[in-house]
């Protein structure tokens, strides 16, 4: 397989995640879409790492996985707190600063 095939796949996955972030109003779905986007980037980084013979891509993918893990821990904690306060996981209810 060529590098382009992997990069196209990575782009498609990233676009799926982006559509999720833009369309969904459920905050849990928003988190899922963020995970999809991070994974798409990881595939691209690993592909570039292989086809250029350089390990930096894989190392960056590790750091992205670490960031994703801590994002889930904090985000889910905040969401649980918010759900206990208001009983809603709709994104529009969180927007208290009306513009």
Note whether 27 and 91 are within 8 A (CB): yes
Dist CA 7 CA 78 (whole Å): 34
Minimum CB–partner distance for residue 66 and another protein (Å): 4
Minimum CB–partner distance for residue 84 and another protein (Å): 7
Residues that bind another protein in the complex, under the rule CB under 8 A:
1, 5-6, 9, 12-13, 16-20, 22-26, 28-29, 31-33, 35-36, 39, 42-43, 46-47, 49-50, 52-56, 58-59, 61-63, 65-74, 76-81, 83-87, 89-90
Dist CA 60 CA 1 (whole Å): 22
């Amino acid at each position: 397989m060529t590098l382009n095939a992997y990069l196209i796949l990575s782009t498609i996955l990233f676009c799926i995640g982006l559509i999720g972030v833009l369309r969904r109003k459920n905050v849990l779905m928003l988190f899922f879409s963020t995970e999809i986007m991070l994974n798409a980037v990881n595939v691209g980084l690993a592909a570039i790492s292989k086809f250029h013979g350089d390990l930096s891509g894989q190392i960056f993918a590790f750091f992205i996985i670490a960031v994703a893990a801590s994002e889930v821990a904090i985000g889910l904690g905040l969401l649980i707190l918010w759900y206990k306060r208001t009983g809603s996981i709709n994104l529009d209810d969180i927007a208290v600063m009306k513009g």
